[in-house]
Every structure is written in C-alpha cells, then in structure tokens.
Amino acid sequence: MTTERPVRVLLAILGLDQHEAGAFAVATLLRDAGMEVLYLGRFATPEIVVDAALEEDADIIGLSCHSWEYLYYLDELFELLHGREISTPVVVGGSVIGRDDENEIHAKGVAATFGPSSDANEIARQIRSLAEARGA
Amino acid sequence: MRIDAPTEVVQKALHDAGWTFLFAPRFHASTRHAVGPRKELGARTAFNLLGPLTNPARPESQVVGVPKPELTEFVARCLQRLGTKRAWVVHGGGLDELTLSHSLPPGAYAIAALHRIARRRGFDPKQLRGSTILLPAYCEDCSYQIHMPYELRMRLALDAVEFAATEMPRFHAFLEDTYYISDGGLNSIEEMALGFVEIREIVRALIRRGIDVDSFAPRIAILVNCRMDLFEEVAKIRATRRIFARMMREEFGAKDPRSWSCAITAHTSGLSLTMAQPINNVARGAVQGLALALAGVQAVEISCFDEAYRTPSHDSHMVSLRTQQIVQLEAGADRVADPLGGSYLVESLTDELEHRIVAMVAEIESLGTLEQVCDSGWFRRLFQQAMTRRAKAIQDGSETQVGVNAFKIPEDEDQLLRDHSESKIAPCRERIDEIRQFKQDRDAGAVAEHFARVREAGAASGINLIEPIADALEADLTQGEIAGALRLGVGEAYDPLRQMEPPVG
C-alpha cells in the first residue's frame, strides 16, 4: 500500500435478506485485524453499494448473504462496476454459498468467498492481500 | 383413533358407542381400487364427490360435505335421484378446517384480510383461529424491519388486538415473538426480559384505551426460542409462566383464570445449527424438541437440519415433523405435565431465571418510556453486542459447538448430506408477472380512493386502522401500498428504500 490509511472494507447485505449476525461477526474480526469497516447495513441494492464504494473510496466490497437473493443481484452489481470502470474487488461471505455457487460466482468476477467454517485469520489475511494487490 | 380398523372393531364400536367409522379403502368394494391412481394423480378428481355418493352402506339419511358452495345443490340432486330420503349437503367455507399462523409483521394486514375473506365466504369471523405476531418495539432493530416510526408500529399492534378482541375472539392476535429478537445471540434472560417489556407496554396501552384486560388476555401467547442448554430452556419457560401469571393477576387485575396462563409455542434456534456435519442438526433438533415437550409448550416447530445453509427443503421439514412425532408418540415426553418439577436443579434454575428476568425488565423500564429506549438505539446495541459476543464465543471455543470448534473433520470428508445442500428452490418469476397483471387489472378509481382513505386514517388519531386496511385490501391494494399510504399519513416517505412509487399521485 502506498498510503498509511488502514484497509477500508464496505460491508453490505443485498435485497430483502435481513440476517445480520454474519456481517457483524465479520465486521468485528476485520476491525480487530486493524481494518476500517463501513457497514452499509441491510436493504442495499447494487446501485447503493456501488455509489457507497465510490464515495467512501472502499478497498474492498464485502457482501454478506444468508439467502439466495445475492446470486441474482451479482450480475447487476458487476454490470454497474464495469460500466463505471470500478475495479474494487468484491468478496462474498455467507452460510448459503454451496460449492457449485462458489464456482459460479467466481466466474462472474467475485474475488473470494467465505463460509461459516472459514478461519478468522484467513479471512483477514485474504482481504488484506486483495486490498494491497489493488493498491500496488 | 384408528381409522382403518378391521370389521370386528368397527362392529364393536357401533354396538358399544352407537357410531363407527368405515374407512373407504377397506370397505368400499369399488372405489378402493381408485386409491392408488388417485394418490399418483395427486389432484382432485370426481372421486372426491363420488365417495359419499356411492356409500356402499346405502344410508337413507346422510350428511355430505362438499368443497365448493356451488356443489351443494348438484350433490343434493344426485342424492335425490339415488333415492336418499333425507340429506344435508354442507359447505364450511374452507376456513373451519385450518388455522393460519402468519409471521410477517405487522399482523394487522393478515387480521384484516382474514376477516374479509371469512365474511365474503359466509364464514363467521368469530370462529377464525390462528395467530399473528406482534413486534412493535423491536422489529426495526432486528430481522423484521418494516420502516415505520414507533408510534405507527405500536398503533397497528394495538388496533389489531383491539379489533380481534371483539371481531375475532378465538384468534391469537397478541402473539409476542421472542424468537426472532433472540436468535441473533441474546441469552434466555435477555430474550424473556425484552418479551415482557413489550407485552407489558401493550397491555398497559390497551387498558388505557378502556379495553377490559380479560377480553384479550386469554388469547395472549408467546413464541419463544429454544437453544441447546436443555435445563435452562425448560427453566426459562417455567419462569415465564410464573412471571406472566403474577403480572396479569396482581399488576393488571385480570380476574379470568384463563388470563393468567399464556399459550407458549416455540421454534428451535436456527443459530444452534451448523453447516459443518449437517446431520448433527437432526440430533440437535431432537434434544430441543425434548426440552420443549418437558417444558409443556402448546406447540413446537423444530428448525430444519439444512436451515443453517439453505432455505429448508421438503425433506428436512419432514425430518423435523417426524422428530416431533417421535418425541411425543414414542418417547411420550408430553404424557405428564411438568415432569421435571421438583428436581432441585430445575427448580433452582427456574427461581434464578425468574429473578433475573424480572430484574432486567425493571432495569429497562427505568431507562425511560419504551419509545425513548427504542429510539435511543439501546436495543439495537444490545442485539449487535449479542451477535458479536456469540460469534466470539464460538471462535474462542468458550461455547462448544460440535463439528465447528470441537471434533472437526476435514471439509472434503464432510460429505454426508452435502448434495442435499446444493439443491435449490428456484425463484418463482411467474409471480412477478402475476402481480404486475393484478395491478393492471384492478379498478384504478377504487385504488385511488382507498389509498387516500388509508392515508387519512393514518394521519388522524382515534380511528382503528383495521377497518380502512381491510377495505383497502378488498379494493385490491397491496400490503406494500397500504404500508406506504400509512407512512405518508404520518409524514414519512412512501418507500424509505426509494424503490417504489405510490400507485396514485
């Protein structure tokens, strides 16, 4: 990283999914690892996420998902990111990501996925390295 | 009762009791051959009507139920031609055979809709049964956000209970849901303390409206959570019954003994389920189901084993249902009321929890009015802290979760039921088209008129909102449009998420 500021992660939940426990757990572990977390909360749309990522100069866009809705929002999200030439890496974490989904969403452009069994240190390490690769 | 009893039993029953039951697949010489194909078809056919018309006993007098009102006369004429001397052909409106448990807040819409559906079908709304959850205080801070200010949320709750107390007296319009507020990670004391704070606020407000406490208190129910600590969960439910009875009798002056007891229903904690080794969740459900049976709850729903990682499947629902049936019918855990009563452990735990729940209720009530405490973000912080606390406890191992922080197996060996977790329920896109069509086909004048009426009712005070909501539903307004009209009425945005436009300008 060229600047001193901590890695900045935007965290959001898309659509009508109201489960927040996973997002809070991840927010806490990223803060404990010295990162800055901007929690956008529930009921975000791809547009709200992209606007906030630009406005807040986020290094990473993190999506927490506990319903299958995210699968249908990702296309719209990447379309907006590409259209506005934004290269912020998107990572997705959540209980509902199956192995088939993992392959599918990686193909769409998701940089990393995390599930309930992911190690806390590993989540922080991967997010940091994605952010640093982008800053470099 | 055994419906497929053999001939001797059927004869004996007729002799001893004066009535008996003839199971068609056993006694009906011809229609029993149709049983297989009918099951395979899985759809209603003429056989649904033919059964009673071709009763092999050839009764002279008969009562026949039909599934549609327009079939009453048709079946009556058939019976006449078949030589039946006297017959009643009846239709029950369909609503007598079901109870509806509606779990989307606020319950006001479901109550209004059910009331009108019953009236349209000629079914007395006073006979309607079922429940709707109440959650005016906490829904914005939890997983049931409805984007309404406190006063409107509370008004919808009070109006629904008041309306149901006279119009739908058998219906549980006052179901306090402590499951959804606690499954982020609240402990059992926090869960019940918050539940009681909300119940007390609603009861006080209803009494202030001049409503007799005994007119609604017998229908108060609580939907509780059930975590993995078996004895604590039993003690929590026992303590809840004690606190409720004392509060209703001594504090709110309820005189009807039915007002002192509350029906308790439970969901088992989804948070206790794991994505790792999902079959272990079946064992968790069995332990929780047992705890609830030992605590003597009135109803149980064991969460599905796949709930930790997908929208529950049909198969997993069946396993949950079967687990409940095993707990009740094989283990007989519900045969005796309060089987753990008298155990030193359970009695002392009950005392302790009772004391701590009551103390926390007093603490919260000392912070200010419930509206102030809600709007200050106190509850939101409590929920967030609980989620973080719980996640940390699993991470650092201070709370054991088998397969997650103890007795783990490598992910590539964890294959049992893995395929099951990959199959999805496809979204129903046709429904979107149906709703678009529905909106296009309705009477725009009526929509505009009722949109304005709901908005005005929201702005006015002292009007019960259930009637205008019910009228609006009859004019084909959607729940979302009604919510938006109410928001406009109290000076809020039609859609706080800025995705929808009002149906009229």
Every domain of chain A and the residues it spans: 14-135
- Does a structural domain hold residue B428? no
Structure confidence at residue B1 (pLDDT): 62
Digits of tens for pLDDT over chain A (136 positions)? 455 789 999 999 999 998 998 999 999 999 999 999 999 999 999 999 999 999 999 999 999 999 888 998 999 999 999 999 999 999 999 989 988 899 999 999 999 999 988 889 999 999 999 999 986 5
pLDDT band at B36 (very low <50, low <70, confident <90, very high): confident
Residues B362 and B470 in one domain: no
Quote the CA–CA distance of A42 and A15 in Å, as a whole number.
7
Give domain A14-135's CATH number out of 3.40.50.280, 1.20.59.10, 3.40.50.970, 3.40.390.10.
3.40.50.280
Give the range of the structural domain holding residue B456, as residue numbers without chain letter. 441-505
A97 burial class (0-12, 13-18, 19+ CB within 10 angstroms)? Answer: buried
Task: Say if strands B86-90 and B61-65 run parallel, antiparallel, or are unpaired.
Answer: parallel
Does residue B300 belong to any structural domain of this protein?
A: yes
Q: CB of A26 within 8 A of CB of A123?
A: yes
Cβ contacts (< 8 Å) between B497 and chain A: which residues? 43, 45
HSE, side-chain direction, 13 A CA sphere, residue A2: 3
In this structure, the answer to whether residues B184 and B258 fall within a common structural domain is yes
ipTM given for this complex: 0.90
Instruction: Mark out chain A residues that contact chain B at CB-CB < 8 A.
Output: 18-21, 24-25, 28-29, 42-43, 45, 67-68, 72, 95-96, 98-100, 115-117, 120
Do B197 and B242 have their domain in common?
yes
Whether the link from the prior residue into B106 is cis, omega within 30° of 0, is: yes
Q: Rounded distance, CA B311 to CA B308, Å?
A: 9
Q: Do B145 and A28 touch (CB under 8 A)?
A: no
Q: Which residues of B touch A (CB under 8 A)?
A: 142-145, 184-185, 271, 274-276, 308-311, 384, 387-388, 390-392, 395, 404, 411, 418, 421-422, 424-425, 427, 497, 499
* Cβ contact A95–B145 (<8 Å): no
3-state secondary structure of B311: coil
| Token pair listed for B140 | 């914005």
- The CATH number of residue B269's host domain is 3.20.20.240
Verify that B398 and B491 share a domain, yes or no: no
Same domain, B333 and B472: no
Question: Does the residue B1 lie in any domain?
Answer: no
| Domain shared by B146 and B48, yes or no | no
Check CB contact under 8 Å for A96 and B274. no
Q: Are residues B399 and B459 in the same domain?
A: no
* Residue B421 forms part of a structural domain: no
The domain total for chain B is 3
Q: Identify whether B431 is part of a domain.
A: no
Contact B143 A20 (CB under 8 A): yes
pTM beyond 0.95, yes or no? no
Q: CA nearest B421 in A: which residue?
A: A98
Alpha-helix runs per DSSP H in B396-441: 418-422, 429-441
Of B184, B275, B499, the CB nearest to A21: B184
**pLDDT tens-digit map of B158-175:** 999 999 999 999 999 999
Residues 6+ apart with CB under 8 A from A72: B427
pLDDT number for residue B4: 80
Residue B423 inside a domain? The answer is no
Residue of B276, B391, B422 with shortest CB distance to A24? B391
Q: Do residues B407 and B458 share a domain?
A: no
